[in-house]
Structure 1
């Protein structure tokens, strides 16, 4: 079966696109601070969330540049949790451990579960995530995301936008890259997919990376419902 533009398989980014990563981490940081009697005010939580994101993005960039050997998301999330704890003065190891696992307990966006189910009724659907294999399994179960197949970047020992990560999805799809659609809320992710020959669809999310004026994606949608309608047309 194929949809608009000859699409045969739909691939979704997970973190930020299908689940509210920033919101989940924000809640986990606030809970860790409150449990240890720390300042759980909005300003403090936002500052520490920026510390978390900065560490994760920086380490993934270092891996991509070859200045650090590959480490999966569980390792990097643990490092991020420890960095947040250091900044916040948290010493409770149980609280730090819960914080390190926060990325496995992220809530889906309101349209994610139903939208994925509708698209899965017409296309094979794949998840393609930076989350490790173990984290992705637990995250999918927590969020109720039901894929035909979920792929972890851990299998490529790389992080997007490295070409080998997108190749995991194209190889699993078993069809030419131009018949595989990458769906994400991050323009940088879609640029990587385009470089790998895939079609692209931007779906707007509150914490996504918006397209720039030079970006030309095949579809742009405000929700998965809107994307589903476009692919049905």
Structure 2
């Protein structure tokens, strides 16, 4: 269940966004790119099961190779997952081009329909920052697709580790601190508990905004606000601003 916030949304100075998942429809993009490999498996896969199985492999690869670029992580996870499901024979080299294509699919993953317009409406009221488990080039490409909304961008490539590592959130605090923004003034905005809200709370961030992209309704976690999408977040912000005028 959420934690009751001690301050209004608009009393904070910065919003710290997860990107792939919260702003980008990561699961659809990932599943679409993974589908050709799944078709080679002898076992039929439901979307949710396939994503859960692949993301478990990806998490293992991230833990083994925290300094690797995310596109390299994706390629390695593709091969490991393919071998686990029997779609890539051990020792086969025919998968190399497919793995590269899969890794490059990040740039085809589409934003949620509300993302760009909501970011544009939030930007006059907050410093907007991105903290993403991605490489610099991919985030720069995605940021441009979203309308270049971010004042600060931070990637796993620059940090040398992947969320939920504490180092990623300490790095974010240091970057925001350069702008005079303390940890009490920054809200995490993400649909992910394990990799964002939980480690952010451990780093001293106030309860943030959970974007319930999957329509779960309620989950346990250290968040202060629940919204279905970013349009709803904009409505909350603008309502507060109107009430304080």
* TM-score (norm: length of structure 1): 0.81
Structure 1 residues not aligned, in runs of 5+:
none
Q: TM-score, normalised by structure 2?
A: 0.78
Distance 2:218 2:96 in 1: 37
CA offset at residue 120 of structure 1? 1.0
Post-superposition CA distance 1:26-81 (Å, at most 9, x none): 111225667xxx47997276655444212111233x35xxxx56323122111012
For 1:204 and 1:16, locate their aligned partners in 2 and report how far apart those are by CA, in whole Å: 10
Residue matched to 2:72: 75
Native 8 Å contact 2:198 2:222 kept in 1 = no
Query: Is it true that 1:221 corresponds to 2:227 in the alignment?
Result: yes
Once the two structures are TM-superposed, the CA of residue 123 in structure 1 deviates from its matched residue by 1.1
Pair 1:107 & 2:104 matched: no
Distance in 2 (CA, whole Å) between partners of 1:193 and 1:134 is: 25
Counterpart-to-counterpart distance in 2, 1:40 and 1:208: 31
| Rounded Cα–Cα distance in structure 2 between residues aligned with 1:85 and 1:178 | 44
Query: What runs of 5+ residues in structure 2 fail to find an aligned partner?
Result: 1-6, 241-245
Structure with bigger RCO (C-alpha 8 Å, 6+ apart):
2
Cα root mean square deviation, aligned:
3.0
- Alignment length, in residue pairs? 222
Structure 1 residues 120 and 41: alpha-carbon distance in aligned structure 2, compared to 1, 3 A threshold? farther
Q: Structure 2: how far apart are the matches of 1:126 and 1:16? A: 15
- Which segment drifts farther, 17-26 or 41-50? 41-50
